Amino acid sequence: MSPAERLDELRARVFLTRVVEPGDATAGLWMRELGAPEVAARLQGHGPPLPGVSRRRWEGLRARAERAAPDRDLAVAEEAGMRFVPPGGAEWPRQLDDLGDARPLGLWVRGPADLRMWALRSVAVVGARACTEYGAHMAAMLAADLAERGWVVVSGGAYGIDGAAHRGALGANGATVAVLACGIDRPYPRGHTALIDRIAGQGLVVGELPPGDHPTAGRFILRNRVIAALTRGTVVVEAAHRSGALVTARAAQRLARHTMGVPGPATSALSAGVHELLRQDAVLVTDAAEIIELVGGIGELAPERHGPVLPRDLLPAATRQVLAALPARAPASVSDIARGAQTSQDDAVARLYELRALGYVERHDDGWKLTRQAKISIRTDPSAL
């Protein structure tokens, strides 16, 4: 493609971001079969109407096309420090092509980093807007730990879990990307203007809508497919049964991305959606190491989880059997201990003297009993109960 053809392609795609709603698969089919310049020309009245839409919808698209001004949008974007990244460009994340005909026409990007490179090692952290303190804490902690391990945290810039995830990554001096459902020169929600400006300075702010465009309920839902496709996995931290975060998780599942959930209290309505995901195909995670074990490379395993090692754990198995055979209160005879440990009396005596040297048992007339310290050790060890 010549430089002139590339410019025509870019201008056509910028034009179409004003005319076509994000995720419009019919428009995606037009683009695939005819190319962006031809689709733009038809919408401007040069040629027959495009197939697959009603007359009423075609008139609506034509009315939008009459108001579109790609050169003006590009000039406004440049002044605001934004750039337009089309599919196939050097900065285009190839994984977005998995969306097929519903992939973005292009992405408006604000920030110094390379979007394609950052997306290669990224994880989405999403969840409820009206989150609990627990949810905000978990989102910030996970995001900070992921950022410290070199992963990019992607979220939607909203209140609640999204904001906590972005702040966690920023607080760790890490990388984060906010995917907005509006023109990225007009941050939404307004209360997050300072946060989104900070993300643009330290990370990236991206979106499908052209400069100045406003969000709608439908655009939030469609935005979520970009978050899911852009990343290697989606972590949901708190989500009710009806939640946009679940839309992101289900999009991730359709795209064969990893889907993870952070559990909450069984009685919490804000965790009900997460628990439903976990009952299906999502994987339970509680820290960054467990997330990276799923989305990372071969060998990036989470550490094995276990409780503290107690002195009794270091005893040989046969000696532990003898110790377990001693009753909690009254002394026991050697024959009773041997029977309980399923061993001979001579072996039981040898083990008892070994245990006495270690402070676990003491001789009491003709029997043996646990020392006070051993009783305390057993009471504080859940596995011994």
Amino acid at 320: R
Q: For residue 304, is it within any domain?
A: no
Phi-psi region of 104 (alpha: psi -120 to 50; beta: other; left: phi over 0): beta
Coil, strand or helix: which one is 361?
A: strand
Q: For residue 15, is it within any domain?
A: yes
- Within this chain, do residues 237 and 356 fall inside the same structural domain, yes or no? no
From residue 377, alpha-carbon distances to 309, 321, 325, 369 in Å are 12, 16, 15, 14
Angle between helices 317-325 and 345-357 (to 10 degrees): 90
- Residue appearing with tokens 């939404």: 188
Edge to edge, what strands does the sheet with 82-85 contain? 82-85, 107-110, 204-207, 176-180, 152-155, 122-127, 233-237, 258-262, 283-284
Tell whether the model's pLDDT for residue 358 goes beyond 90: no
Q: Which of 30, 27, 11, 32 is nearest to 77 (CA)?
A: 11
**Average pLDDT of span 116-136:** 96
Task: Answer whether the bond into residue 308 is a cis peptide, omega within 30°.
Answer: no
pLDDT of residue 17: 96
Spatial distance between the Cα atoms of 50 and 19, rounded to a whole number of angstroms? 14
Q: For residue 193, is it within any domain?
A: yes
pLDDT of residue 147: 97
**Average pLDDT of span 365-378:** 80
- Within this chain, do residues 315 and 290 fall inside the same structural domain, yes or no? no
Confidence bin at 364 (pLDDT 50/70/90): confident
From residue 109, alpha-carbon distances to 103, 112, 179, 360 in Å are 16, 9, 9, 67
pLDDT of residue 71: 94
- Within this chain, do residues 371 and 326 fall inside the same structural domain, yes or no? yes
- Within this chain, do residues 193 and 108 fall inside the same structural domain, yes or no? yes
Spatial distance between the Cα atoms of 121 and 14, rounded to a whole number of angstroms? 28
Tell whether the model's pLDDT for residue 328 goes beyond 90: no
**Average pLDDT of span 355-364:** 87
β-bridge partners, 253 = none
Confidence bin at 313 (pLDDT 50/70/90): confident
Q: How would DSSP label each residue in 237-280?
A: ES--SS-HHHHHHHHHHHTT-EEEEE---TT-GGGHHHHHHHHT
DSSP H/E element including 51: none
Q: What angle do CA 172, 253, 278 make, to 5 degrees?
A: 75
- Cβ pair 223, 156 in contact under 8 A: yes
Q: For residue 74, is it within any domain?
A: no
pLDDT of residue 383: 52
- Within this chain, do residues 277 and 356 fall inside the same structural domain, yes or no? no
Phi-psi region of 206 (alpha: psi -120 to 50; beta: other; left: phi over 0): beta
Under 8 Å CB-to-CB from 32, ≥6 apart: which residues? 101
- Within this chain, do residues 122 and 241 fall inside the same structural domain, yes or no? yes
**Average pLDDT of span 364-381:** 76
Q: For residue 77, is it within any domain?
A: no
Of 231, 261, 295, the last residue of a domain is: 295
pLDDT of residue 315: 85
Outline where the chain has alpha helix (H): 3-19, 25-34, 36-43, 55-67, 70-79, 115-119, 133-148, 161-171, 193-202, 217-230, 244-254, 272-279, 288-295, 317-325, 334-341, 345-357, 372-379
Q: For residue 91, is it within any domain?
A: no
Q: Which of 43-47, 245-249, 309-313 has the highest mean pLDDT?
A: 245-249
Confidence bin at 1 (pLDDT 50/70/90): low
- Residue appearing with tokens 């330290």: 202
- Within this chain, do residues 290 and 318 fall inside the same structural domain, yes or no? no
- Model pLDDT for residues 146-172, shown as the tens digit of each residue: 999 999 999 999 999 999 999 999 999
- Within this chain, do residues 186 and 261 fall inside the same structural domain, yes or no? yes
Work out the end-to-end distance of the chain between its first and last CA atoms, rounded to an integer number of angstroms. Answer: 74
Domain membership of residue 154 as a residue range? 96-295
Angle between helices 217-230 and 244-254 (to 10 degrees): 40
- Within this chain, do residues 210 and 127 fall inside the same structural domain, yes or no? yes
Confidence bin at 385 (pLDDT 50/70/90): very low
Q: pLDDT averaged over the chain?
A: 91
- Within this chain, do residues 362 and 257 fall inside the same structural domain, yes or no? no
- Within this chain, do residues 149 and 266 fall inside the same structural domain, yes or no? yes
Amino acid at 347: D
Spatial distance between the Cα atoms of 286 and 100, rounded to a whole number of angstroms? 33
**Average pLDDT of span 226-253:** 95
Q: Is the pTM of this model over 0.85?
A: no
**Token digits of residue 218:** 């439908």
Q: For residue 301, is it within any domain?
A: no
- Within this chain, do residues 315 and 375 fall inside the same structural domain, yes or no? yes
**Which phi and psi (to 5°) does residue 362 adopt?**
-145, 150
- Cβ pair 185, 164 in contact under 8 A: no
Count of domains forming the chain: 3
**Average pLDDT of span 287-296:** 94
**Residue 161: which CATH number?**
3.40.50.450
Tell whether the model's pLDDT for residue 124 goes beyond 90: yes
**Token digits of residue 75:** 């000039």
From residue 155, alpha-carbon distances to 119, 146, 195, 237 in Å are 12, 13, 13, 12
- Model pLDDT for residues 175-190, shown as the tens digit of each residue: 999 999 999 998 899 9
- Model pLDDT for residues 83-95, shown as the tens digit of each residue: 999 999 999 999 9
pLDDT of residue 66: 93
Q: Which of 116, 110, 104 is nearest to 16 (CA)?
A: 104
**Average pLDDT of span 345-366:** 88
